[in-house]
């Protein structure tokens, strides 16, 4: 299992960063192998990882080479090897993680890539250049994704 939390900040990032870290710590039992956080003035992505694929190098959040796209994923992409082979001449892969193909597909197709993915997953991708999120899940909803909005932030998290 994994856990991730995404906050689209609408108020002071200092206080919300503390809250995101606290929420992430409370969910550490769902992903005891790695804790990772991306934090900026506009967004926070926190991730707790249970290693399944690329256990040594799949720490999340994942980044593209320019660090302008940030990705947190819960799940597994079954067809990642075929996608990686297809995209490797146009995308510089940073890890062996099955989930990194989401970043490569986003770079190539924008938001129109979900039909290319086979697996069970929920993800949040933050595009720092556009200050925009893409939140998605598998077609069957095996990995659910919960969404909430408050005056301080918008929050998304998978829950199984």
pLDDT by residue for the chain (160 residues), tens only, comes to 444 555 555 566 676 666 666 665 655 555 456 677 888 888 888 777 666 655 566 688 999 999 999 999 888 999 999 999 999 999 999 998 999 999 999 999 999 999 999 999 999 999 999 999 898 999 998 887 776 666 555 555 555 4
CA distance 99 to 154: 23
Structure tokens at 155: 């929050």
Give, in order, the Cα–Cα distances in Å from 1 to each of 47, 65, 74, 113: 11, 27, 7, 24
Q: How many domains does the chain have?
A: 1
Give the structural domain span for 123. 3-159
We report the CATH number of the domain holding residue 52 as 3.60.20.10
Rg (CA), the chain: 15
CA distance 107 to 32: 30
Cβ contact 33:59 at 8 Å: no
């Amino acid at each position: 299992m994994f856990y991730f939390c995404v906050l689209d900040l609408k108020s002071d990032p200092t206080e919300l960063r503390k809250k995101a870290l606290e929420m992430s710590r409370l969910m550490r039992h769902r992903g005891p192998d790695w804790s990772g956080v991306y934090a900026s003035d506009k967004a926070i992505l926190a991730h707790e990882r249970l290693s399944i694929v690329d256990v040594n190098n799949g720490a999340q959040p994942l980044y593209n080479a320019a660090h302008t796209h940030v990705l947190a994923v819960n799940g597994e992409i079954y067809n990642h090897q075929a996608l990686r082979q297809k995209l490797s001449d146009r995308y510089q892969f940073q890890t062996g993680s099955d989930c990194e193909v989401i970043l490569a597909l986003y770079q190539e197709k924008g938001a129109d890539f979900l039909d290319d993915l086979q697996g069970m997953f929920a993800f949040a991708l933050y595009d720092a250049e556009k200050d925009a999120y893409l939140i998605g899940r598998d077609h069957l909803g095996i990995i659910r994704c919960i969404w909430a909005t408050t005056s301080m932030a918008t929050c998304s998290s998978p829950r199984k």
